[in-house]
Structure formats: structure tokens, C-alpha cells
A = this chain, B = another copy of it.
Amino acid sequence: MKIVLLGAGKLAHHLGPAFAKKSIEIVAVYNRSLDRARQLAPRLGKSVPVTDRLDELPRDADFYLLAVADQAIADLAAQLSNRFGPHLPLVHTSGATPSEVLRTASSRYGVFYPFQSFSPGREINFAQIPLCIHSEDEELLALLRAGAEKLSRQVYRLDDEQRAQLHVAGVFANNFVNHLIGQSHDLLAKAKIPKPILFNLIRETMEKLEQQDAASAQTGPAIRGDRETIAKHLALLDTNPAARAVYQLITQQIKSTNSTNQ
């Protein structure tokens, strides 16, 4: 399998080497800035051509993987279409972008979306990462599946609507959880308590949620309807309006789940 990789950002830096390790050949890397492409190339197993000129890309790759920012996908696809015609197999990697943005550029298009938050400097084990594939072109879909299955044990075929839902679900489970734990850290810092005191509680919370649903796993003053503790907590958050707003909203939501269940 031969892939042209377009983009040399966070995702390309993780995905490119993962393909190379599994003997999926990256035949060229394109990036607007050559510097970033040159940083990435040595991690792709052998001497891979890098370029900032689309004309120089090989025409015979199995697919063209657009690992670029959401806003750049349609424009890059249009440029590829201008140069290589309307049948180049184009695949983007975006959770939030419908595959249709590629439709005007090519008759063969799809999505290869790794469901993970990629941070620079953190090692990623693709075997653990869910890969979400989509194409209405059966041949391209089979290629995406074969590539995905080499990388990961978790391959999901999800259409555009499902992928969009997954993307927003990921915002809750990752970005928003991160924000809440940040607020928790800030409360500890204010009380001069070291944050490792939280680690076990958080791990326990997560492990429990792998085994049971969140409604039955819920504990704490809101689900108990413990008004006295809630009042104490709100008083403690008096000088922290952001944390207080979160506390009020989520407490109210948990309470109303409770009364619905009773």
C-alpha cells in the first residue's frame, strides 16, 4: 500500500511513522512549509521525498491522505483535483468535517479518523486507538480498512453523521473533563494540597465507568440531594466564579436526573 501524506502537523507526525512501522509505504510528504516536512521525513523509515509543490507528487499512490487543519481540507483537495484530475482517491482525517467536502474534488473520497487527542511529545500506541473509516467507494473503503487494521485493533466504520456525534462526544470526554480536572487542581492549589491526592480517585472514576453506566455510578451531594453540603461547597467557591458556575449547572443537572429516576 502506497500513501501520499499531505500535511506535517501533529497528526501527520504520529500517523506517518505508525504507517511506516507497519510497512505501509509513505511515498511522499507534501507540506506548505518544507521545514516541517523535513523534520517528519526521517521518521518515515527510509528516504521519503518531501515537497512544497503539488506537481511533484507521484500520481500512482493508493490514496492521498490529507492530514491538515479542517479549514484547509477543501482548498487542498481542489488544488489536487486541478493538477491530477477528478478521480484521485482523497482521504481526510477530520472528525468534524463531512466527507462531502471532498466530493467536488474527486469521485473517490473517504475518511480515516483516529479518535484520539494528539499532543506533541506524547508517545501514541496506535494499537489502542480507535480508527474510524468511511467511504462510499467500496474499493477505497477496503483499502482504508486494510490500512487501519494494520495499525489498530479497534476499527470502526462510521458514516459522517456518526463521526460528527463521536467528535462532540470526545469533546465532553476529553476537553471538558480536562477543564474540570483543571478546576479541581486549582482548588487544591489554593488549599496548598499536592495534586497527586486526586490521582487514585480519578482512576477509580474512570475504571468504574468502563464497567457500569454513569447514571448508576453517580455519587456525591447532588445525587443524594444533600443541600447542606451543596451550600457549603457554593460558599467555598464564592471567590471562583468560573468553578461556581460549573458547580451550579452540573449539580442542578445531576439533581434533576435523580428526581427523574425516582
Q: What residues make up the interface of A, taking CB atoms closer than 8 Å to B?
A: 70-71, 96, 115-119, 122, 128-130, 154, 156, 158, 161-162, 164-185, 187-188, 190-193, 196-206, 208-210, 213-215, 217-223, 226, 228-229, 232-233, 236-237, 242-243, 245-247, 249-250, 253-254, 256
Contacts and interface: CB of A to CB of B under 8 A. Distances in A.
Contacts of A180: 172-173, 176-177, 180, 250
A199 to B, nearest CB: 6
Copies in the complex: 2
A219 B166 contact: no
Nearest to A154: B197
A166 B219 CA distance: 16
B182 A165 contact: no
Given A115-B201, A168-B187, A204-B117, A174 B220 contact: yes
B219 A116 contact: no
Contacts of A164: 232, 236
Contacts of A229: 70, 96, 167
A199 B178 CA distance: 15
A219 B162 contact: no
Contact of A220 (B175, B213, B233, B253): B175
Nearest to A121: B212
